[in-house]
Amino acid sequence: MGESEKIAKLGAGGISVDLPVMEGSVGPKVIDIRKLYGATDMFTYDPGFTSTASCESKITYIDGDEGVLLYRGYPIEELARHSDFEEVCYLLLYGELPNKTDREKFVRGITYHTMVHEQLREFFRGFRRDAHPMAIMCGVVGALSAFYHDSTDINDPHQRMVATHRLVAKMPTIAAMAYKYSTGQPFVYPRNDLSYAENFLHMMFAVPAEHYKIDPIMSRAMDRIFTLHADHEQNASTSTVRLAGSSGANPFACIAAGIACLWGPAHGGANEAVLLMLQEIGSKDRVAEYVKKAKNKDDNFRLMGFGHRVYKNYDPRAKVMQETCHEVLAALGKQDDPLLELAVELERIALEDDYFVEKKLYPNVDFYSGIILRAMGFPTSMFTVLFAVARTVGWVAQWNEMIEDPMQKIGRPRQLYTGAVRRSYVAMDKRN
Ligand code: SDX
């Protein structure tokens, strides 16, 4: 960076202030405004943080214009094709691909934390059988704080490592328990001889009455879906985890906060919303009607699974998800799934429509995932739960990075106040 590029000059209210410009290894530079309020008595204003970098991070990089997603520098397409979720977890947490010994040690550490405290099973009895599984995840994951006191001291690196392993390991177990509870089937214990994805499918779909046969195509697809959802820079739920963690809250409480944020249909809840939308559209001849609704400013309907705050190009995860969708449906003999045909037609029409082209609205990670998950036998209500299972490693990686950042302090944004200015109390008999 040239000398002149290292300073941003801001003139405001008759005051001129020089602000340092910082450069990362790749991507947009940032203007360091930490001294702005002190120098100008003014705040910046950026609802939704469309132009704000909240932190420095080395974990995930996204180039929204080019449709690029890198986990610790490795392209998501290569990881989805050549790696597996256990290895991606190690990469996100520790920054490098593991050698054989490190991988075996890490996988063993995760595998031997997959069981939950037996008394945690009692929590489920407090929920109605028809409770949304995301409500159960919020409650039960938050309750882990009450069971694992020996890994809640955020200032102890060993306790942070234990909490990290416990969260990555136990999320699939709790997720599968939430599903089993809704069906009235017995909980299925984890098995140490299975991979992360195989173990999850086993806990989800095995029953004591018969041997459950792992379908390698299904477990490979599950593994790839976990990898695609593992991390994504400073998205809403990751920012929630960081903000909760900045106050010193324990890791289980922070991840419960992330789960709550992910649940929203504008975020992780979109995969469930996409499937409900496709079922509502019902047939190809109604696609144009819904595309028209999505373009109507007076209609709050949006094409779920389309658009993204960062990607102004095709979400690279959506491309891999689409390939996986065709593979899984063909393997299941469901290649003629009417919902897939509908989704492909909806994508074709939207990508040819000026509104979507001008606003750079492309399919995102959620557009095809629901079709695969439904074909694999997951109920719609479990789609966002699977997203939370996969994203837990990203959340804890970002949480650890925030805790270890020497510049870390409690997150406390300010505001533009437009409410009533100071006024005196009015007694009841003096009011209108
Ligand atoms: C995820 O941040 C992440 O990284 C998230 C995520 C992750 O991995 O963590 O990638 C996961 O959450 C993916 C996104 C899933 N959400 C959906 O699919 C819901 C549908 N999409 C939208 O609601 C929307 O696109 C967002 C929320 C994803 C992004 O919203 P922004 O960036 O705030 O954009 P915006 O709402 O300001 O929209 C810009 C314009 C608006 O029109 P104008 O007011 O400029 O005229 O585009 C329009 C919007 O009305 N628009 C859409 C649309 N998305 C945006 N119009 C129709 N259908 C849509 N889906």
Ramachandran bin of 393, using left for φ above 0, alpha for ψ from -120 to 50, beta for the remaining angles:
alpha
**CA–CA gap between residue 164 and residue 397 (Å, rounded):** 8
Return all residues near 164 (Cβ < 8 A) that are at least 6 apart: 93, 251, 396, 400
- Give the helix/strand (H/E) hosting 274: helix 270-281
CA of 131 to the centre of ligand 1 (A): 28
Which ligand 1 atom lies nearest to the CA of residue 236?
Answer: 2
The answer to whether residue 308 is catalytic is yes
Give me the pLDDT at residue 430, please: 97
**CA–CA gap between residue 166 and residue 155 (Å, rounded):** 17
Give me the pLDDT at residue 157, please: 96
Indicate which residue's Cα is closest to atom 14 of ligand 1: 267
Provide the residue-wise pLDDT of the chain in tens; the chain has 432 residues: 787 789 999 987 788 999 999 999 999 999 999 999 999 999 999 999 999 999 999 999 999 999 999 999 999 999 999 999 999 999 999 999 999 999 999 999 999 999 999 999 999 999 999 999 999 999 999 999 999 988 899 999 999 999 999 999 999 999 999 999 999 999 999 999 999 999 999 999 999 999 999 999 999 999 999 999 999 999 999 999 999 999 999 999 999 999 999 999 999 999 999 999 999 999 999 999 999 999 999 999 999 999 999 999 989 999 999 999 999 999 999 988 899 899 999 999 988 999 999 999 999 999 999 999 999 999 999 999 999 999 999 999 999 999 999 989 999 999 999 999 999 999 999 999
Tell the residue number behind the tokens 């991606």, with chain if given: 88
- Catalytic annotation, pick one of 132, 308, 315, 337: 308
Cβ atoms of 107 and 165 closer than 8 Å = no
Give me the pLDDT at residue 46, please: 98
The single-letter code of the amino acid at 199 is: N
Give me the pLDDT at residue 2, please: 80
Question: Ligand 1 pocket by C-beta < 6 Å: which residues?
Answer: 48, 232, 235, 266-268, 270, 294, 302-310, 359, 361, 364-366
Please give the backbone phi and psi of residue 184, each rounded to the nearest 5 degrees, phi first. Answer: 80, 5
Give me the pLDDT at residue 216, please: 96
Indicate which residue's Cα is closest to atom 54 of ligand 1: 307
For every residue of 161-225, DSSP letters joined together read HHHHHHHHHHHHHHHHHHHHHHHTPPP----TTS-HHHHHHHHHH-BTTBPPPP-HHHHHHHHHH
Tell the residue number behind the tokens 């109507």, with chain if given: 296
CA of 300 to the centre of ligand 1 (A): 12
